[in-house]
Amino acid sequence: MKARIPGAPQGGNNNMMKRIQEMQENMERIQKEVEATEFSSSVGGGTVEVVVNGAHEVTAIHINPEVVDPEDVEMLEDLMISATNESIRKANEAMEKGMEQAKGGLSIPGLL
């Protein structure tokens, strides 16, 4: 007995394999594009900005000198954390959107 992929047309195994291969190629291409993209977030009214790439690597940090207060380093640390987390969230969102687009409506259990 042959295994059947739900939603796949009968007798279309070659077509399905071709679609899966195209989907994999699209996913790899989109993943590389997202990883090369930079995502930035600023907090504190623009006093702190953090830039990350799609691979979640921090590539830049910009701090307005006016926000640097030796008496309140904790506020600056909180702003840094907030901006970094928001930039990473944007990168994750872009990757998820790209992977959904790459799947092109094809639903395979266990696949992103």
Q: With cut-offs at 50, 70 and 90, classify the pLDDT of residue 14.
A: confident
**Could you give all domains of the chain from N- to C-terminal order, each with its CATH number?**
38-103 (3.30.1310.10)
Strand bridging mode 38-43 / 48-53: antiparallel
Q: What is the mean pLDDT of residues 69-88?
A: 93
Tokens 């977030």 label which residue? 41
Q: Is the predicted pLDDT of residue 105 greater than 80, yes or no?
A: no
Q: Is 97 a residue whose pLDDT tops 60?
A: yes
pLDDT recorded at residue 45: 93
* First vs last C-alpha separation in the chain: 28
Strand (E) or helix (H) holding 14: helix 13-36
Nearest to 41 by CA among 103, 110, 93, 100: 93
Higher-pLDDT residue of 100 and 1 is: 100
Which percentage of the chain shows pLDDT scores above 90? 58
